[in-house]
Amino acid sequence: MSGRTLYDKLWDDHVVRDNGDGTCLIYIDRHLIHEVTSPQAFEGLRLAGRRPWRVDADLAVSDHNVPTTDRDHIDDPVARTQLETLDANCREWNITQFGIHDPRQGIVHVVGPEQGACLPGMTIVCGDSHTSTNGALGALAFGIGTSEVEHVLATQCLVLHKARNMRIRVEGETGPGVTAKDIVLHIIGRIGTAGGTGHAIEFAGSAIRALSMEGRMTVCNMAIEAGARAGMVAVDQTTIDYVRGRPYAPRGELWEQAVEAWSDLHSDEDAVFDRDVVIDAGEIRPVVTWGTSPEMVVPVNGRVPDPARESDPVRRIGMERALEYMDLEPDMPVTEIRIDKVFIGSCTNSRIEDLRAAAEVVRGRKLAPGVKQALVVPGSGLVKRQAEEEGLDRIFTEAGFEWREPGCSMCLGMNPDRLAPGERCASTSNRNFEGRQGPGGRTHLVSPAMAAAAAIAGHFVDVREFLD
């Protein structure tokens, strides 16, 4: 018998029962809850006369709708209702919630790991597709819809088909200026936005092992942009060092016991993957997305592609449409694309390491005159505090950036932070879909350092020019 993959192990540990019809009942250890995808689930529970199965597995925090400026006055009455609904639901069922004035509040996928509420070996779900972020801890973490949120609330379980195993090994050393974001965008550019559909992806290889936990979270975060519900990285010393001492992490004897158990959270040597992709880390360049799908990736020193050279007709039409929406010409150099706004934040890139990388580029420089607005939105109140202790906020504000309160912000523009029609943004977020950051807005996905460099130059620029 061949060995098991990390995903196999996580799956096996959580099987409550095999339903005998291709599905298993899978136990959920941690349920993260936010304001947008939960109200209908709580309402469903109430209408059916049910109650939450195990509230100590739940952790709630509002992030999508939260203003990143003044928290005391939420002008949008619909958003306010949604925030108040989460507060009321958490009060009713005694669910732990970090309210919008709590220093621990932030983007749910930043808060979970930061608090040690998400641990290696757990199954972690949330009504949010970027739950895959938490797989960086060596956990099985994936996004669910609202019906499944209700199902987990009511039963602490989900009925699931097991996904296929896929491994993406990034081997070798990355060059200067190449970050976790460039690695994952490069991967998506290579395998496509449906490349991981039906699979759970384990990110492996020396370039992944060399990443910090923050970097691994960035990579796993965008597993969903490659079509995979779950992304994960095996547990190693970096994982253990990250988790140790966090508020919700085990302590004392339990800690020792947990670490012992976590040492098995890696794929066996002889494990078989349904799909195995190898990527040479040395080939990866700082990248920019040029279109309206995260797979539309080019190196910053490259050119916008020409649909005329695409042989597949469906893809060609998609490219033409993307160029039209993005108002770009085929073959133009990426460095000639000028930007209006900059957004540094989101569950992909709002952790302390991201802010440090951006600040390093910005230090002592000023926003380019043509850049109308540049936002830095830390992932949580604690990230914000740490950044302020390190003086990063001053580096940003002195350069002309706005330093905001934590939340999802302009990643999806549910709160007031958004693009106006036609505006072009260098964004550290995860989706460049049409209208994602505001109707008619044009999003280019980049790393924090690349976003910072674009802010200073007024157009995309190879960040390596700033790092000498």
Residues 188-227 that bind other proteins (CB under 8 A): 193-194, 197-198, 224, 227
CB of 17 to other proteins, least distance (A): 5
What distance in Å separates the CA atoms of residue 114 and residue 347, rounded to the nearest whole number?
12
Q: Output 174 or 221, the one with its CB closest to other proteins.
A: 221
Q: Which of 76, 171, 236, 402 binds other proteins (CB under 8 A)?
A: 76
For other proteins, the closer CB: 106 or 127: 127
The verdict on 58 binding other proteins (CB under 8 A) reads: no
Comparison of 186 and 229: residue with beta carbon closer to other proteins: 229
- CA torsion, ordered 105, 108, 110, 111, to nearest 10 deg: 50
Cα 160 to the chain's mean position, in Å? 23
Strand order, beta sheet including 123-126: 97-98, 58-61, 30-33, 123-126, 140-143
CB of 132 to other proteins, least distance (A): 10
Q: Which residue, 151 or 404, has its beta carbon nearer to other proteins?
A: 151
Binding mask 157-176 for other proteins (x = CB under 8 A): x-x-x-x-------------
Q: Total number of residues binding other proteins (CB under 8 A)?
A: 78
User: Which one of residues 92, 173, 261, 282 is an interface residue with other proteins (CB under 8 A)?
Assistant: 261
* CB-nearer residue toward other proteins: 136 or 149: 149
CB of 253 to other proteins, least distance (A): 10
Three-state DSSP class for 307? helix
**What x-and-dash track marks residues 114-133 binding other proteins by CB under 8 A?**
-----x-xx----xxx----
Q: Give the total residue count for the chain.
A: 468
Query: Residue 307: how many CB atoms within 10 A of its CB?
Result: 15
Does the footprint of other proteins cover residue 264 (CB under 8 A)? no
- Does 318 participate in binding other proteins (rule CB under 8 A)? yes
Between 155 and 301, CB nearer to other proteins: 155
Per CB under 8 A, the list member of 109, 186, 229, 442 interacting with other proteins is 229
Contacts of 172 (CB under 8 A, 6+ apart): 206, 207, 280, 281, 282
Rule CB under 8 A: which of 405-444 touch other proteins?
412-414, 431, 433-436, 439
Q: Least distance to other proteins from the beta carbon of 352, Å?
A: 26
* Ordered DSSP codes for 216-245: HHHHHHGGGGGT-SEEE----HHHHHHHTT
In the block, residue with structure tokens 């260098």: 426
456: contact with other proteins by CB under 8 A: no
Q: Report DSSP state, residue 106.
A: B
Candidates 32-40, 201-209, 373-381, 392-400: pick the segment binding other proteins (CB under 8 A): 32-40
The residues pairing with 170 across neighbouring beta strands, listed in sequence order, are 279
328 vs 352, beta carbon nearer other proteins: 328
Binding residue for other proteins, selected from 99, 175, 250, 302, defined by CB under 8 A: 250
In whole angstroms, how close is the CB of 226 to other proteins at the nearest point? 10
Residues near 70 by beta carbon (within 8 Å), at least 6 away in sequence? none
Nearer to other proteins, 64 or 424 (CB): 64
**DSSP structure class, residue 162:** P
Contact between 24 and 17 (Cβ < 8 Å): yes
Reference 379, options 203, 180, 214, 138; nearest CA is: 214
Q: Are strands 30-33 and 23-27 parallel, antiparallel or unpaired?
A: unpaired
Give the nearer residue to other proteins in terms of CB position, either 82 or 179: 82
Return the structure tokens found at 99. Answer: 């309210």
C-beta of residue 107 within 8 angstroms of C-beta of residue 63: yes
Q: 3-state SS of the chain: helix, strand, coil percent to 5?
A: 40, 20, 45
CA-CA distance, 389 to 149, in Å (whole number)? Answer: 37
Nearer of residues 234 and 387 to other proteins, judged by Cβ: 234
Give 52's DSSP letter.
-
Q: Which of 36, 339, 347, 463 binds other proteins (CB under 8 A)?
A: 36
Q: Which two tokens stand for residue 249?
A: 């992490």
d(CA 450, CA 179): 10
Q: Which of 146, 212, 238, 301 binds other proteins (CB under 8 A)?
A: 146
Please identify, using beta-carbon distances, which residue of 165 and 174 lies nearer to other proteins.
165
Pick out residues in 10-29 that bind other proteins (CB under 8 A). Answer: 16-17, 19, 21-23, 25, 27, 29
Task: Find the binder of other proteins among 150, 340, 353, 423 (CB under 8 A).
Answer: 150
- Among 9, 31, 64, 169, the residue binding other proteins under the rule CB under 8 A is 64
The answer to the question of residue 79 lying near other proteins (CB under 8 A) is yes
End-to-end CA, the chain: 52
